[in-house]
Amino acid sequence: MKGTIPDPGSQKLNWHKPPLTVLVIKKMHDENALSAFTQLVKWLIQEKNMAVYVEKAVFDDAMCSENPVCRGLQKQIKTFEEEKDELTNKIDFVICLGGDGTLLYASSLFQASMPPVMAFNMGSLGFLTPFSFQDFKGQVTQVLEGNAGLLLRYRLKCVICRKDSQMSKIPHVKQIQRSHSTVQSKTHMLVFNEVVVDRGQSPYLCNIDLYVEGKLVTTVQGDGLIISTPTGSTAYAVAAGASMVHPNVPAIVITPICPHSLSFRPVVVPAGVEIKIMVSPEARNSAWVSLDGRNRQEIFEGDSVRITTAQYPVPSVCAKDQMDDWFESLAECLHWNVRKPQKPMPTLIDSPSTNSLTGNSDSSS
């Protein structure tokens, strides 16, 4: 039997038709991002003849409303409101101006298929935003012409099922559709980084049962549990002791938060497995769930958090390629393996004592 090993360099951007619409996500309340925003949008409209979509909240911000250039562009831009307007079939391309949070926010706007996203670093860390804005015209032009590599970042499908609800009776999370959810924005989400279940403000240990493929594998006693994508393995999970997993690896990372057990280590399971988390019947308190740091809500005994790998990844445009970008981010943002270099061995004087140390003694003497 012979398997096929995928080539990371084979993922390339290939437009089926020239992109005509672009969504620009801007970091709020930031002067540098606002300046870049006005330059970019003006250029996209005037030079590239593209239809530009921007969130309405951007123009409601005082920083933008008091800027004459920004006000002038507003008439040429199409606006949308989060949780009111569906963008999936309207947008061909996404550009983010900000930090990693802008990319997470962009992901949350597309709860199905997501168009390619290009992220410019204007935040504090920039682990997920590999592009510099200085040469934005040349870089964006290359992407629009299809000359770029892609990294398909896995997302998690997370469904919160309340006790005795209709969704709780569906045997597999893969079979649950968004139409089954009554409050879609909070109980059924595609998650970019991680799902976190924690003890909230309770003084007691979080006591939750962890199921993998329908089998109870362990009961977590500690501050909580992180279920993360490979991309999310370098976020909250790595701070809790998880291994850093390249985003192209098909996997789900399970990481305990401050477990009350010396032997409870993080584990990596294959992408596509079904994970279920429930408050243990012996628990002294409820638990809290957050999805990419948002939509925080309480779960009780009988409720369940059901997770698997989503069908729809986030296609991230690479600045160089998916290996160079990742290792460069590890070095630049996390200072991975940074230490003072070891000094070389000093030059030794040729003498009987030093020869014996270096293994060069003359056996004939």
State the catalytic residues. Answer: 100
Q: What is the DSSP string of 306-322?
A: EEEE-S--EEEEPSS-H
What is the tally of helices (H) and strands (E) in the chain?
A: 10, 19
Phi-psi region of 124 (alpha: psi -120 to 50; beta: other; left: phi over 0): alpha
Tell me the backbone φ, ψ of residue 267, rounded to 5 degrees.
-130, 155
Cα 230 to Cα 253: distance, rounded to the nearest angstrom: 7
The answer for residues whose C-beta is within 8 angstroms of residue 81's C-beta and 6 or more apart is 55, 56, 57
Q: Where are the alpha helices (DSSP H) in the chain?
A: 31-46, 56-60, 62-65, 68-74, 100-109, 136-144, 184-187, 236-239, 322-333, 352-358
Which of 99, 144, 94 has its CA nearest to residue 115? 94
Element (H, E) at 181: none
Cα 178 to Cα 297: distance, rounded to the nearest angstrom: 18
Which of 88, 218, 120, 107 has its CA nearest to residue 156? 107
Structure token pair of residue 44? 């996209």
Residue 100 contacts residue 123 (beta carbons within 8 Å): yes
Cα 12 to Cα 8: distance, rounded to the nearest angstrom: 10
Cα 179 to Cα 188: distance, rounded to the nearest angstrom: 10
